[in-house]
């Protein structure tokens, strides 16, 4: 569980950290305070203990009384949520109803919300959904060509993820370009451990590469991205695997890790490829190829592309990946300025394309700040409605 105390107006971070291995006997929390970093054991491995550590740190900084709300990242909001929502018992039930769609993520999100409500009972809690931004996709983009009953009865459709990040970097890119977001068509690429691209028209998602689950689309750290749906049956028979074992392998043993046989870490793969490791080279090249193909495909959703945007650990740091993707996107009028590209490392956003070509930008994503902003906007709206 990642957490941060944010001043919404300035974006300043008063406290941040990470609780790891929750649910196990060796859970711990890392706190980044103005005075330095600290690690605290969480012997019970619970969310409640993690929130007690956060509350203690707020007291220590003397800012507990200044906290106005808790914003939660919730992975799946199904078709119900196209906006952030004030968490009520009814909203929590709706998040619970989405558990079958995100069995690994939503239960953890619910546990976090319940612990936060217990720790800060007087504060409003807001859910910000990873899927919400993509609820504006048209039906041609979100429907699978499968029996209609699967959609109507079981919600089988494309939802998309990383919405908070795509929305944030699209708005930042508009600022960088000095043009209103409402007028722009953008292809945003969030490239972290999970990777997705999004077609953003006038600030709204009109298509994205992830689908029913975060497994669809690009080659990722350990996820396969797109495969032939016939693969499941084939490999289950050939290798004597169960369906859930195939799904687990596609989620955890595939992607960069599967192709390279070495690592899911792009930095490590770039170094190994430079030393001549054939698997690492193939993994990086396949990652780039599939990414460029998806980004070009998003031009169909947009009709016209005003700019390309790179973000996430790989998008913000790997000049090699960005350069190789832009080299493959000449079809869109893209090109790379090698000097600008080399200079754009984490913390430095900006343009990496030469003048007169399709603008390509690196933008540092900030999901925590976006969640905080959306939380504040929702609460301000509710207050306004009451007045």
Active site members: 130
* Diameter over CA atoms, the chain: 66
Residue ranges in 205-224 that form contacts with ligand AMP under rule CB under 6 A: 221
CA 240, 246, 249, 250 dihedral sign is positive
Give the nearer residue to ligand AMP in terms of CB position, either 317 or 374: 317
Give the nearer residue to ligand AMP in terms of CB position, either 81 or 310: 310
Do 95 and 127 touch, CB atoms closer than 8 A? yes
Site stretch for ligand AMP (CB under 6 A), options 154-162, 171-179, 314-322, 324-332: 314-322
Q: How many Å apart are CA 134 and CA 184, to the nearest integer?
A: 17
Residue ranges in 185-204 that form contacts with ligand AMP under rule CB under 6 A: 192-193
Any contact of residue 318 with ligand AMP (CB under 6 A)? yes
Whether residue 2 is annotated as binding a ligand: the answer is yes
Residue ranges in 29-68 that form contacts with ligand AMP under rule CB under 6 A: none
Selection from 104, 130, 138, 129 nearest residue 23 by Cα: 104
Whether residue 383 is annotated as binding a ligand: the answer is no
CB of 283 to ligand AMP, least distance (A): 11
Whether residue 78 is annotated as binding a ligand: the answer is no
Whether residue 190 is annotated as binding a ligand: the answer is yes
CB of 266 to ligand AMP, least distance (A): 4
Do 221 and 269 touch, CB atoms closer than 8 A? no
Residue ranges in 234-273 that form contacts with ligand AMP under rule CB under 6 A: 265-267, 270
Q: Where are the beta strands (DSSP E) in 132-257?
A: 185-191, 195-201, 204-208
Q: How many Å apart are CA 310 and CA 191, to the nearest integer?
A: 7
Do 50 and 1 touch, CB atoms closer than 8 A? yes
Do 360 and 307 touch, CB atoms closer than 8 A? yes
Which residue, judged by CB position, is nearest to ligand AMP in the bound state? 313
Whether residue 194 is annotated as binding a ligand: the answer is yes
Q: How many chain residues are in contact with ligand AMP, going by CB under 6 A? A: 12
CB of 201 to ligand AMP, least distance (A): 25
Q: How many Å apart are CA 162 and CA 48, to the nearest integer?
A: 26
Binding positions for ligand AMP, rule: CB under 6 A: 192-193, 221, 265-267, 270, 312-314, 317-318
Annotated binding site: 2, 73, 190-194, 265-267, 313-317, 367
């Amino acid at each position: 569980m990642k957490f941060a105390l944010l001043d919404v107006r300035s974006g300043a971070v008063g406290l941040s950290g990470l609780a790891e291995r929750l649910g196990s006997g060796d859970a711990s929390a890392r706190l980044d305070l103005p005075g330095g970093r600290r690690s605290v054991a969480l012997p019970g491995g619970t969310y409640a203990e993690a929130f007690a550590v956060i509350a203690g740190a707020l007291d220590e900084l003397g800012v507990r009384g200044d906290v106005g709300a808790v914003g939660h990242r919730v992975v799946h909001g199904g078709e119900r949520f196209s906006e952030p929502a004030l968490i009520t018992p009814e909203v929590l039930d709706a998040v619970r109803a989405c558990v079958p769609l995100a069995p690994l993520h939503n239960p953890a999100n619910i546990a976090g919300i319940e612990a936060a409500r217990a720790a800060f009972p007087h504060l409003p809690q807001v859910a910000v959904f990873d899927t919400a931004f993509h609820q504006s996709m048209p039906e041609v983009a979100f429907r699978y060509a499968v029996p209609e009953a699967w959609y109507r009865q079981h919600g089988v459709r494309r939802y998309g993820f990383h919405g908070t990040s795509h929305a944030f970097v699209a708005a930042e890119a508009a600022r960088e370009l000095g043009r209103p977001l409402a007028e722009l068509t953008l292809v945003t690429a969030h490239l972290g451990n999970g990777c997705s691209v999004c077609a953003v028209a006038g600030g709204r998602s009109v298509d994205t590469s992830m689908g029913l689950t975060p497994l669809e689309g690009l080659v990722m750290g350990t996820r396969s991205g797109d495969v032939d749906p016939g693969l499941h049956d084939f490999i289950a028979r050939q290798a004597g695997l169960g369906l859930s074992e195939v799904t687990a392998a596609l989620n955890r043993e595939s992607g960069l890790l599967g192709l390279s046989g070495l690592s899911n870490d792009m930095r490590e793969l770039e170094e190994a490829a430079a030393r001549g490791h054939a698997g690492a080279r193939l993994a990086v090249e396949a990652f780039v190829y599939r990414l460029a193909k998806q980004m070009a495909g998003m031009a169909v959703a947009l009709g016209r592309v005003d700019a390309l945007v790179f973000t996430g650990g790989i998008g913000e740091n790997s000049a090699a990946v960005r350069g190789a993707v832009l080299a493959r996107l000449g079809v869109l009028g893209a090109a790379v300025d090698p000097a600008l590209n080399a200079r754009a490392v984490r913390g430095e956003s900006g343009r990496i394309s030469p003048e007169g070509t399709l603008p390509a930008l690196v933008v540092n994503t900030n999901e925590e700040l976006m969640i905080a902003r959306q939380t504040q906007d929702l609460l301000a709206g509710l207050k306004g409605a009451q007045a």
